[in-house]
Structure formats: structure tokens, C-alpha cells
Structure 1
Amino acid sequence: MSSPPLDATSVAALIEDAATAPSMHNAQPWKFRYLRDSGSLQVRADVEHAIPKADPANRALHLGCGAALFNLRVAAAHAGREPVTTLLPDPADPWLLAEVGLSRLTSPDDDLAVLHPAIRRRHTSRFPFTDEEIPTEILDELRSAAILEGVRLYVPDEWHVQSVMDLIHDAEGREALDPSKVEETSRWTGTGAEDDAARTEGIPAYAFGPRQRDVTAPVRDFAGRRLIPGRDSATFETRPRIALLGTATDRPADWLRAGQAMERVLLQATLDGLVTSLTSHALEWPELRWAVRDPESAIAHVQMVIRLGYGPAGPATPRRPVSDVLDIV
């Protein structure tokens, strides 16, 4: 059954939900355009919010936009609209990443709508997790969530986790020796000064979490060598539980699917009582990225490393105003 186009207030509410998605350095590299005539929403890349040094191929940009796209689908389903999604609909316009038709009515009780309560509860947590084991049933549910988006989620064993940690340490050392990458990261991160409160993008210092006494968890220290007033140190979990999200091929459409799967996994994990954080540090270096995967798994290309566990939720990070990211035509 079709329905009249949405009004401006309803569209803005959908975008407010969509924009809670995670993105590299919280750069929020997305724009949305609502087409009144067709009743559809376009998801576009905002190249002014790209991160060219760390993400020269715009892979992470596509992941972030894919996560926002998934939130949009969830918000639409919650509002009783069936999100009919087409990825990369115009080969002549590579920055038009997806178009979502919203003219059909649907039941708000479908498998997307049930994830809606987690959209505002999901925040990246860079705080210590406990060493409590995650039940197999929950891990299986997260694997199934990824498969629903055509992507694989692989939970490595303890030896592989340590290998990934070694690659992350390698990436941290490489970045510290690259002034252009250090400068780029600094531009997107806070200092703890008063202007942190006015940020609408990037990662403020209050979201860094404590500094690790012994670096045992895959949590990026965005402070680098900067001293952040009032920041504590803490002991993190000694046996981190991570999951590798990956695809069989490595093209823009795969990145968009992986971004949607990533957000579906994060929302499901939130509903299951887990807290999460993301790291792409080792994936930002081509010579390290290939080594992150398990060659015996079905994952040929790792798109994200997800840290899972039990612990304190992270704080909400700033978001660009809807008026900055939405056009209605």
C-alpha cells in the first residue's frame, strides 16, 4: 500500500536517527536529499568530511554512510514505511551512494523496527570492559545479523586476537611517525578545552576514555602524546573479545553493505546488553590489512574490527545539525 510523501518534520526525524551512526573520527561524511515528487531519500557522500590521509580510497567514508543508511532503514520501518533501498543507483554520480524509497506502508513490528530503541542507546565505549565471557547464543545472533546484510562476522580465537593486537600496535607506531596523519587525526579530535562543548563533529576529549596502563585492548588513544586535563588511566580487559566484519570482494558496494551490517551488529549488540567500540587502525595500512584476516575463513577483506563486551556505556558524541545535512527538493 502506498502513502503520501512525508512532511518536512517527519523527514527531519528520520535523518536525526540516521545521523547517530558511527563514522571514522566521527566525521559524519554524509548528506541526505529528500525528493518530494518520488517520496524517496538519497544518501550522498559529503566529500568535505572525508579523511584523505587515513582513508585515501574512501572505504571508511562508505562504511560510515552505510551505517547511516541502515539507521535510516530502521527509522523508516519504525515510522511504518518500508525502506526500498538501491545502492549506487547512478554510475555517473559516484557520490550518490543510495536511494531509499519510502512510499510503501509496512508493519512497525518487522525485523528492522525492533532495532529502533538501540539507535539512541548505542555509543562507542572506549572504557575498560570486564573479562566476562559473551554467551555463544549472543555471538551467534550477531553473526546472523551480519549475514542478513550479506556480510560475514568472524570471531577469532585467542591466538588470532593477539595477532590483531600486534598489527594494531604496528599501525599506531606507523601513524606516530607520519606527521600528516598525526595532524589529520588531531584536526578531528578534541583537547579538553572549552571549545569541545561547541563541537558538532569529531571526537571530543571526554569520549577518549582513560589511558590504558597496559595496552591490552584494541582501543585507539586519540590523545596521542597530548596531555588531556583531568584524564585518568585504567586497566583494561586482559582478554579482549573482538569480531572481524568482512566481505568476499572489496568494492564500494561491498563497503556500503559492510557499513549496514556493522550498524546492524552494533544495534543488536546494544539490545543484547553489550557495549562496543570500533577500530580500523590496522586496516588503514594496506600492508597490514591483509594480515588481519584469517585465510581459512570466508572473509577475504576485513572491513572493521569490533570490540565487544560488558562495561560502561560510552558518552554520546556531537552530531551536525539536521539542517546541515538535509536538503528537501
Structure 2
Amino acid sequence: MHNAQPWEFRFLRGDGAFHVRADLDRAMPRTDPTTRALHLGCAAALFNLRVAAAHAGWTPVTELLPDPSDPRLLAVVRLTGQAPPEDDLAPLYPAIHRRRTSRQPFSDEAVPDAIRDGLRAAALLEGARLAFPDTWHLQTLLDSVRDAEGRDAQDPAAEEELRRWVRAGTDAARAARDGVPVYAFGPLKERGGAPVRDFAGREPLPGRGTAVFESAPQLAVLGTRDDRPRDWLVAGQAMERVLLQATLDGLATSLTSQALERPEVRWITRDPESAMGFVQMVIRLGYGPSGPATPRRPVTEVLTID
């Protein structure tokens, strides 16, 4: 959430293993009280680590939540041998550097069924499910997002937590190492149904343009059967695999989590006829600008080598 980058990596030379840990100083207790979203974000970074290891010729063997006495230790990734010829991770590597969150309008061009099937398969490879809602479910999702946005607008604590991660001024955006800089806000939505979080809030931004967004946004819901920390880690890796595959397929993407941040709204997002027990993320996808790169913390802040 909000490009908080709540992860820490520790590499143990003797074991040839990475420890992936949660940085709770970057948690969001108001909008993510269970740290579900934090787990998803860390798991996305974990998946990128697996892809990078495979690209470098290693086989990453991953164990989730290996130590019950240390819940901040989310995963251990051991690098073993050479990647097998049939490895399906390494081809995703170029997309790590290309993937962006786009808060720009997408076209109304439909995503082909073959690409949708590939994205579903990508989620299944990580133990999660990806579904494309029908018209009724799509409208329910959009109504849920609007409901959550309205509640957030009346919640000073939620607004304050959001402002912590906004880099609105030019100097702040230029110096940012995390958060959402002003150049990534995207245009103000003039009309259209696309669920895009407005990081500007109620503050007008000089020179910010307006745009008409797609009237019928194409959304996918990613979920799991259960809703425990391990499921969140599974979902986060599946989410990143889907996003990387979508990038390779030429799609622009953004994430929509507003309706999932409130328990009283989140349950409505699920299709009761689906085998998916819990929706973990809503993904907007389509054809359009990929969006600008957002800042990243220096490697020295997130990686320790022992």
C-alpha cells in the first residue's frame, strides 16, 4: 500500500539463504490493522526475489512463515543449484523493471480471452485464484469502492495515514525514496467508472489536468480459500506473478484495495457463487499508459548481508 515498501532482506552467506522480514515501522494500523496488505506487499517483493534468483541461474526454494516464534520472519529463500531448463520464473525478470502502477485512463479495448486465461493460470501457479467478474459482480465491486471512498473521506485517521505517504511538493517528490510522489497521482477524474485512488485528496494541485476514464473498467479479483497470514503471502506472490505477466502481455495495471481495507465492506466484494473464499486484491487492467516509475529505498536500507 502507498509504496511504503515494508520489507527487510537479510542474506546469510553460510546458509546461502535470504530471510524476508516485515518492517512494522511501515505498517498502517488504521487502514491495515491486521497487516494483511503489508503481507501482500512483502510477498510481492518475495516473488521478485525468486524471479531474480532464477534469472541469475539459481533455484529458489521458499519456506513461508518458518518460525512460529518470530512472526516478522515471513519467508526463507534458499538458493540451490542451477535453475532447471523448464523454469517458468526467469522469463518474468524483464517485467520487474517495467511494471508500473498506472493511474491514467485506459482504453475500452477488451483484454482478449487468451490473455485472461494466461493470467488465471499465473495465479494458479502460486496457489491463488484470479477471476474476471461478470456485469453484476463488477457493479457490486464499483459500488463497494465508492462506499469505501466515502467512508475514508469522513475518517480523519485514515486521511492522516494516507498523507504520511504522499509526496506532494516538487522538492518532496524529487527527494522521495518511498511513498507516492505527485507526478504519479495521475489526472483528476472528470468522469468514468475506473476505481483509481486520488492521492491528492481534497487538496487542489496546480497544473493538474483532468481526464475521462474508461466507462466500463476491466477488473479482476484475486483471492484465496482462507484468510490467514500464509494465505496473504500466497496471494501476494500470485498478485505479483499476475502483474508481471500482464506487463509482458502489454497491459497497464493498477491495484484497487479501498473496498478491502474495511471489513464491513470487504465481504461484499466476493462472488458468493465462486470457490474463492476471500478477495485479497482487485486489479484494474487494460490498454493505456504504463505510468511513471515511483521511488525505491536504497539497497543499503533494505538488505543486510551476514
Same fold (TM over 0.5): yes
The Cα of 1:107 is off from its aligned counterpart by: 4.0
| 1:123 and 2:67 aligned | no
SS in 1 for 2:137: helix
The answer on whether the counterparts of 2:100 and 2:293 sit within 8 Å (CA) in structure 1 is yes
Match of 1:179 in 2: 156
The Cα of 1:159 is off from its aligned counterpart by: 2.1
Match of 2:114 in 1: 137
What is the alpha-carbon distance in structure 2 between the residues aligned to residue 240 and residue 134 of structure 1?
Answer: 11
Match of 1:103 in 2: 80
The Cα of 1:250 is off from its aligned counterpart by: 0.2
Structure 1 stretches (4+) deviating beyond 3 angstroms? none
The answer on whether the counterparts of 1:243 and 1:306 sit within 8 Å (CA) in structure 2 is yes
SS in 2 for 1:216: coil
Match of 2:13 in 1: 36
The Cα of 1:48 is off from its aligned counterpart by: 0.7
Match of 1:240 in 2: 217
The answer on whether the counterparts of 1:77 and 1:108 sit within 8 Å (CA) in structure 2 is no
More moved, 75-84 vs 151-160: 151-160
Match of 2:204 in 1: 227
How many residue pairs were aligned?
306
The answer on whether the counterparts of 1:246 and 1:299 sit within 8 Å (CA) in structure 2 is yes
What is the alpha-carbon distance in structure 1 between the residues aligned to residue 53 and residue 290 of structure 2?
Answer: 26
Query: Aligned in 2, Cα 1:109/1:79: closer, same or farther, shift over 3 Å?
Result: farther
| Superposition TM-score, scaled by structure 1 size | 0.92
Pick from 125, 140, 147 the counterpart of residue 170 of structure 1. 147
What is the alpha-carbon distance in structure 1 between the residues aligned to residue 8 and residue 222 of structure 2?
Answer: 25
Match of 2:64 in 1: 87
SS in 2 for 1:25: coil
- Structure 1 unaligned residues grouped into runs of 5+: 1-23
SS in 2 for 1:213: strand
Match of 1:157 in 2: 134
1:48-63 equivalences under 5 Å are 48-63=25-40
What is the alpha-carbon distance in structure 1 between the residues aligned to residue 43 and residue 181 of structure 2?
Answer: 23
Match of 1:218 in 2: 195
Tell me the alpha carbon deviations over residues 270-299 of structure 1, each in whole angstroms, 9 at most, x when there is no partner: 001101000100000101000001000011
Pick from 39, 42, 61 the counterpart of residue 65 of structure 1. 42
Match of 2:259 in 1: 282
Tell me the alpha carbon deviations over residues 18-69 of structure 1, each in whole angstroms, 9 at most, x when there is no partner: xxxxxx0000000000001100001000011111111000000000000000
What is the alpha-carbon distance in structure 2 between the residues aligned to residue 217 and residue 181 of structure 1?
Answer: 22
The answer on whether the counterparts of 2:172 and 2:181 sit within 8 Å (CA) in structure 1 is no
Letter in 2 for 1:149: E
What is the alpha-carbon distance in structure 2 between the residues aligned to residue 66 and residue 130 of structure 1?
Answer: 30
Letter in 1 for 2:69: A
The Cα of 1:249 is off from its aligned counterpart by: 0.2
SS in 1 for 2:78: strand
What fraction of aligned residue pairs are identical, expressed as a percent? 64
| 1:305 and 2:291 aligned | no
- Structure 2 unaligned residues grouped into runs of 5+: none
What is the alpha-carbon distance in structure 2 between the residues aligned to residue 142 and residue 163 of structure 1?
Answer: 22
More moved, 258-267 vs 206-215: 206-215
